[in-house]
Chains A and B, each alone.
Chain A
């Protein structure tokens, strides 16, 4: 099993927004999905995930709603709001710029 890699500061919100935009879901599924997509490289524990969700909700970037899951359980599903989509676009852009710059530096031999 690959050891867990800590998230870079500030990136958790980007991760959450991006995944919720792709598909609205609850906190538990979200944590599983992060693990699955990153092949267990990123493991976001509940202690970070929920505060991040509440922070985003507080800022009006996502919205939570109680729904029934496929298994018939009640769960709070989050979806990205309009403001959240705009924020995600901005954040993505600045992240890609940053990553591009970093790649450029790392490709220097």
Chain B
């Protein structure tokens, strides 16, 4: 049957079903008429016709079987029944459906992630676009110099191009402004994309030449936002970080190549020619011509690179040249170790498996209780296939509803995730918006699979050979046996729940958001003064006085209570490794990493961060060779065992690799300040602070306001920075917004993990309770017989619960072992010292649901009269 016909079949088959009924009733009418014509009374004729025709319902069943693959619609009465069963068992439908929805949502998440990993940019021959990278460990070390050495020589790549990205403030002369991702790209990048501009022209080779007029090509959205979609935009001026650029082209909507950009300006490669050793990191990409593979390109580029190495002072021996699909460098997948990806996959697969088994258990238990109904239907002529397909359809109704919910959850999660600001700058533009269309098909496939597991497998077992014996015992017991498999499943189920869920809950709990903010964040405005790109560097002597002037004038603004500066925004220090003078316990701190800041001595005063011990930094601490430093409370707690810190010494790494130079200076701790943020359980990043007299470039400032909205200072601050000539005022953000953004990202993750874990826990509890209830129901007869033989109530209750508890306890024990092992492996990070209470909670939930579920059927059995039990036997 063709796919189209299959799709149509539900509608087609409803008609066939109607046809069949009508056809058979016409047959009966005609036969009756004929018999009346032969002299029979109408009633006699009708009876005779029916006799001749045979059992109408049986015939219809037989005819439906003939329809074979058209079961879907032919079963429309069954579909109605399936829906009715869903409503009749609301708890099963809700718990099972929600569990499946979560599992499907997770599966969709993995599927989408994997599909991202293999996606190509939506341009012509996008699958042949590759990135060329020099890799040092995990870090890309490709520079403009490499691009220039390959360019013009490489044959195995068409349109070799390079780009760098940055964030700028774009302003029009008419007051429009926005903070946007700008890409500096070679003109070859546009040739490679082969997407014609909507207006004007793309970047051309001539734009890259030194001294060429600065031009910019803008994206559709930027055109709308900055220029209101003005068709005469070409030739207009656009200020990028204060530098005037002429708009020469507008790209069509949806085009944000190469990563996620709406402003393109020419990449001047002259800097790299003048300073070959200058670390001009860039992304280099090109298109493989038909018939050329990545290995061939790699070999050629490496050979060219080797020849050029003479002119390049960097030590390239450590670098590895790779030619990889374009998406790879954008998703930066190299930063994740493969085992982490596998672990995440395993976790997802485990949750799926757990959910499927649980729902199967629930459905199995219910199917078992419907053996009577199944038997009666069989006796009425329904084939095994019909019964199985009926149960499949019931499961399908549930799993399709779950798939719809799962898709909705995934869609919401996806939107949430892609709306995170940091991700937006980093994720390729073609991954935004909605979930890929194929995920819907994937979800439907998963629903069918789930329906098979939870519907067909129990149904096959329920309609197996023991049906005959059930027929004999119709009305007594459930007739189904709980195999060893199910007993093992109970144990595994409890083990997984007790073993893994506490770890996940622990992680969610320990890193839960809502940290305490230990300074008045809502009164603080953070901003950055950055020298204009391309502008001449400010001489050092001038910079100091300009800065003092800026501070003075900011402080003079109405509503400003204080202003100070640091090397980075609060809670955004540079990561550095530290070495302590005396290590208390080497095993305690494997990788002492801190966030280090150079700060104005008045920094803490302005921020309002309390000093806990020692003294504050002074102006004299900023002098050359001064060694005084302040550390945060978490530094003391984590590295010094909470003891006295004053007078202790440490030193720090200064390069990005985290190596501490042999001659690195030692700093003495003269004060301890409160952590700016403290988490409920998670550890804050320890921080160190050194005094500086002059803010570095770019400098991060904080202004404390009084009686005004910090955000209202944004415009005057930008104007001041510009007026004084310190470049541009960027990222003017109230601290509480910055902090809320951090919290939002963390919160999203924690909520996801929490929802998933809790629903798995709920489902596990429901599964266990269904299993237990079913197992005890099966013992009813046995209990009745034993009562007849003189067993006391106490003995009976003990025997019922002993059996249940044995299985539950075995599972809990194994699970506790797994959890302990996990905790050990992760060095206590997962459970965060909460192993015992968390495991106890999960184990109690499992034991309680199992035991409670045993209670009702056990009581029923105890009330059963021995005679009734024996009669059933």
Contact = CB atoms under 8 A, between A and B. Distances in A.
Given A28-B30, A54-B63, 20 more contacts: A28-B27, A46-B52, A46-B54, A46-B59, A47-B53, A47-B54, A50-B23, A50-B63, A51-B62, A51-B65, A51-B66, A58-B68, A58-B70, A73-B29, A73-B30, A74-B26, A75-B26, A76-B22, A76-B23, A76-B26
Interface in B138-197: none
8 contacts: A27-B27, A29-B30, A47-B62, A50-B59, A66-B19, A73-B29, A75-B30, A76-B19
A58 B66 contact: yes
Contacts of A66: 19
A26 interface: yes
Nearest to B1: A58
Contacts, number: 59
Overall SS of chain B's interface:
helix
B26 A26 contact: yes
B31 interface: yes
A95 B777 CA distance: 60
B1 to A, nearest CB: 9
Contacts of A54: 20, 63, 66-67
Interface in A80-105: none
Contacts of B30: 28-29, 73, 75
A27 B59 contact: no
- For chain A, give the interface size range: 10 to 19
Interface residues of B, number: 23
Interface string B55-86: 10011001101111010000000000000000
Contacts of A38: none
8 tightest Cβ-Cβ pairs between the two chains A and B: A54-B66, A28-B30, A28-B27, A47-B54, A51-B66, A46-B53, A76-B23, A55-B66
A56 to B, nearest CB: 10
Interface of B: 19-20, 22-24, 26-27, 29-31, 52-55, 58-59, 62-63, 65-68, 70
Contacts of B20: 50, 54
Contacts of B62: 47, 50-51
A50 B67 contact: no
Contacts of B54: 45-47
Nearest to A69: B30
B4 to A, nearest CB: 15
B67 A73 contact: no
Interface string A40-75: 000001110011001100100000101000000111
Nearest to B33: A71
A64 B62 CA distance: 19
Contacts of A45: 52-54
Interface in A1-45: 26-29, 45
Contacts of B70: 58
Contacts of B63: 50-51, 54
Contacts of B67: 54, 58
Nearest to A56: B66
Nearest to B34: A32
A77 B423 CA distance: 66
Contacts of B24: 46, 50
Contacts of A55: 66
A54 B21 CA distance: 13
B164 to A, nearest CB: 64
Given A46-B54, A64-B19, A28 B26 contact: yes
Nearest to A27: B27
A45 B49 CA distance: 11
A45 B804 CA distance: 56
A50 B54 CA distance: 12
A55 to B, nearest CB: 5
Contacts of B55: 47
A26 B26 CA distance: 10
